[in-house]
Amino acid sequence: MEQFFVRGGRPLHGTIRVSGSKNGCLGIMAAALLVKGKTTLHNVPDIRDIYTMGEMLRQVGAEVEFLGNGSVCIDATSFDRTQAPESLVRAMRASFYVFGPMLARLGRAEVSQPGGCEIGARPIDFHLKGMQALGAKVEVNGGIVRGEAARLHGAQLYLDFPSAGATTHLMITSCLAPGKSTIENAATEPEISDLAAFLNHLGARIDGAGSDTINIDGVEELKTEMEFSILPDRIEAGTFACAAAITRGDVVLDRVVPSHLLPVLVKLQDMGVEVLPLDTSEPEQLGRLRVRATARTQCVDILAMPHPGFPTDLQQPIASLLSVSQGTATVTDQVFENRFKYASELARMGANIRVEGRSAFVTGVERLCGASVLATDLRAGAALVVAALAANGETVISGIDHIDRGYSGLVEKLRGAGADIVRADLTEPRSFFRAV
């Protein structure tokens, strides 16, 4: 079983190149099923979830070729299966996004319920209610969601909560639903805007993406032969910013869009971290960010909310930084109900952190101590890596398959910035010594 071995205390420095967005890419890969032809995506992150989605698309009849240079070519001409393998849908929630394209192009769909995971129940009621409004007959039996739609039609859609997944899934599906659709109380994450840009390049007619009201005029079909570059991963960038801060390092994050990171950057600055956009005047443009901390940071409260609030995917890494900051802080997650499993692992490293319901209460300590810890989910794992980089001594992190789902080349990127971290499988003793 592979683990990360981290010796803490080394300030990060130099440049870290940020990869393409996991969550942005997953939605766009599913949307490629709408196209009776080829779509080539660039700046695709080299992470497990992307390959899982690639396999899912193959299983429903599309041809998927990873081109090796961060690009993938998807040809959905022969997309003809109306059933998705349960194992893949259960392995990754975003696999459920194939349900809408099946209805839109094939008129039928049979996909397993994605199920919850370590961070909450994660129901799909908003997705199903929206599909029904778009004209599908939907039923759930024995954990399988079945849908039929002789013909979809435009609809007025309202989300009880600005769900990123439901907004993604319903925007994709309504592109081919004749008539006008509106999604009210839509998610406004940058990944939604990127997905709309992708679909509009293909001939869809979407406006308002990025706001809480998205209008879609359904079209007969989307054109083919399109290339598109995935936006940078703001969550990966924010994770590295926390790592730079906790190690009192000086790091340049390359290929970020500063405005996508605004809530995180403001909080880091409130904590005393220096954040400097480099070489770009427009915060909306792709550029570089310098993140530097020369002294112990100050605690601030964090309220994780839907965008443009503080992202729920970064409340864990910043909690690691808060655990060694001066003062006390409350971290509240208003998006997921069970996203503090990392707290007990941070406590094993000496953090003073207590969880009550949707909040964690942190009192900063001077230093954490290395320990053997377990990643329970993707962003909890990221929090443990951030903590380990500044802890006294060595930390061994198990459960790193969770981390591999969402961070490409994490060890290489951190080692390139001076961190002492290796991936090794101690069941093969030689592998550890070979790696160091």
Catalytic residues: 117
Supply 195's token pair. 């997905």
Q: Which is nearer to ligand EPZ, 171 or 391 (CB)?
A: 171
Instruction: Give the residue from 159, 47, 176, 161 showing the smallest Cα distance to 100.
Output: 176
379 touches ligand EPZ by CB under 6 A: yes
Query: Residue 386 phi/psi, 5° resolution?
Result: -60, -45
Mark 154-183 with x for binding to ligand EPZ (rule: CB under 6 A) and - for no binding: -------x-xxxx-----------------
Q: Which is nearer to ligand EPZ, 165 or 263 (CB)?
A: 165
Beta bridge partner(s), residue 112: 144
126 touches ligand EPZ by CB under 6 A: yes
Closest separation between CB of residue 311 and ligand EPZ, Å? Answer: 6
Interface pick for ligand EPZ out of 25, 335, 346, 422 (rule CB under 6 A): 335
Interface pick for ligand EPZ out of 322, 378, 383, 403 (rule CB under 6 A): 378
Supply 396's token pair. 């061994």
At 342 the three-state DSSP class reads: helix
Sole window of 69-77, 116-124, 223-231, 387-395 interacting with ligand EPZ (rule: CB under 6 A) = 116-124
Q: Determine contact, residues 414/243, Cβ cutoff 8 Å.
A: yes
**Amino acid (one-letter) located at 29:** M
131 touches ligand EPZ by CB under 6 A: no
Q: Which is nearer to ligand EPZ, 107 or 120 (CB)?
A: 120
Q: Check whether the bond before 308 is cis (ω within 30° of 0).
A: yes
| Footprint (CB under 6 A) of ligand EPZ, residues 11-30 | 22-23, 26
113 touches ligand EPZ by CB under 6 A: no
Rounded CA separation 232/111 (Å):
30
123 touches ligand EPZ by CB under 6 A: yes
Contacts of 292 (CB under 8 A, 6+ apart): 244, 249, 250, 251, 273, 274, 276
Closest separation between CB of residue 241 and ligand EPZ, Å? Answer: 16
Cα 279 to the chain's mean position, in Å? 26
Q: Which is nearer to ligand EPZ, 139 or 225 (CB)?
A: 139
Closest separation between CB of residue 100 and ligand EPZ, Å? Answer: 13
Largest Cα–Cα distance in the chain? 63
Which residue number places its CB atom closest to ligand EPZ? 165
Tell me the site size for ligand EPZ, rule CB under 6 A.
Answer: 26
Q: Which is nearer to ligand EPZ, 161 or 270 (CB)?
A: 161
Closest separation between CB of residue 56 and ligand EPZ, Å? Answer: 13
| Footprint (CB under 6 A) of ligand EPZ, residues 255-314 | 312-313
Rounded CA separation 319/182 (Å):
37
DSSP letters for 283-319: TTS-EEEEEE--SPPBP--EEE-STTSB-GGGHHHHH
143 touches ligand EPZ by CB under 6 A: no
Rounded CA separation 18/236 (Å):
7
Interface pick for ligand EPZ out of 218, 258, 381, 406 (rule CB under 6 A): 406
Rounded CA separation 242/408 (Å):
17
Chain contacts with ligand EPZ (rule: CB under 6 A): 22-23, 26, 93-94, 120-127, 161, 163-166, 187, 312-313, 335-336, 378-379, 406
